[in-house]
Structure 1
């Protein structure tokens, strides 16, 4: 890991970063807007692939941003990874289900591919969709930071799964510590917030957990209140 200073973002996949006085390009492991995080002059953390480039085109990957006192993980793949670890270890309990005996990633229901399909010791099945959250405003975590029709579709499909007798969950993984609650970002995409409210009214469990974050990764941590 190494530290740098964010300069700019020519496109959603690439950041220009200053490291020890030189400008390099780094892969951005998050295609969201992240405008409140990626501000010129901001301290960022990068993974260095110098010894394991393989087919990589860029030596560095931007995975962390210092936002005031908060260290924010930017890796969009990290939420599913820490969620899977927590499901398997039992650190993440799903309301309405007991000990899990099956945890499968990327399974299809209806017209959607959800992040996880799970079953417990009583053969109850459940669908879980995970959303990584990097937007924080005055101690409140919000999602999304840009309109997400795909997110709306997932939530509505989960509502159908619940109607068919499955357990259904949306988990917002807040990629930082220090937030007081989670809210849908109605200002950015009201339809997503409306879909969440409709889903909860029809039996979908809406959850949020924050994370312990280090410069080189994170782990799922405490439950955070959800305000819809």
Structure 2
């Protein structure tokens, strides 16, 4: 893909300054001179993204307690890391439906939150041509490693993430995809972080079991969410430093 493809407009987004994180889902940001509680729809630690003074992009939501939701953190100019998992999911669906992801060409989303052994897997897809079904689990890879310009997952030990990967390994009857959303504009490759020592080996087990490990690069440019690379290169090795 050449120029980033604009998938979704967030024209009404507001720029704010992040003050602090109060818990996993709530933070405080200064918006228009007022301190406002904001919703954070990403359970990662995000220490390199949500720190006091960070410039954040927020959208309005229907919640009296948290009227804004943080969707991005500024990288430079009008480019922002897309940290919001709801927008990541929405743009993934639009990209599949629009035929913008070549390795899912002809597929359509037919179900969300598929129950798989007591765990919820994000999507069930079906091929319009063959009728073959595929299951897809998305993971948010917004931890950026500048030494090799890589998007990494996770930024903290994720027992839930491990369980999802185990569920994909142990499932049968579907094509199985583990898809990492690289949300940083500078990311050129995806790989596991060194923070969770179990994950690199688990990803190798998944690949050996036939799970397809993919990454797509999606970020915010100005006031649009763009698809920059629908097939970002991947590695199963953690960074050297």
If the length of structure 1 is used for normalisation, what is the TM-score?
A: 0.87
Residue 195 (str. 1) matches residue 202 (str. 2): yes
Post-superposition shift, 1:165? Answer: 4.2
In the aligned structure 2, how far is the partner of 1:101 from the partner of 1:189? Answer: 33
Matched, 1:176 2:184: yes
Q: For 1:197-212, list aligned pairs within 5 A.
A: 197-212=204-219
Counterpart of 2:198 in 1: which secondary structure? helix
Deviation at 1:172, TM superposition (A): 0.5
- Partner Cα distance (1:10, 1:214) in 2: 28
In 2: Cα distance, 1:25 partner to 1:212 partner: 24
Alignment of 1:8-47 (within 5 A): 8-47=20-59
Name the SS of the counterpart of 1:77 in structure 2: helix
Residue pairs, 1:36-185, within 5 angstroms:
36-49=48-61, 53=62, 55-68=63-76, 70-94=79-103, 99-100=106-107, 103-120=110-127, 121-138=129-146, 139-161=149-171, 164-185=172-193
**Is the 2:26–2:40 contact (alpha carbons within 8 Å) kept by the matching residues of 1?**
yes
8 Å contact 2:96–2:108 — kept in the other structure? no
**Match of 2:95, SS?**
helix
CA drift of 1:113 comes to: 1.8
Shift of 1:124: 1.7
User: 8 Å contact 2:82–2:218 — kept in the other structure?
Assistant: no
Runs of 4+ in 1 over 4 A off after TM superposition: none
Match for residue 2 of structure 1 among 14, 20, 25: 14
RMSD over aligned CA atoms reads 2.1
Q: TM-score, normalised by structure 2?
A: 0.82
Structure 1, unaligned runs of 5 or more: none
Q: State the shift of 1:191 in Å.
A: 1.4
Higher relative contact order (Cα pairs below 8 Å, separated by 6+ residues): 2
Distance 2:109 2:45 in 1: 35
Q: Secondary structure at the match of 2:102?
A: coil
**CA-to-aligned-CA distance 1:57-76 (integer Å, 9 cap, x gap):** 22222211113565111212
Q: CA deviation at 1:130?
A: 0.7
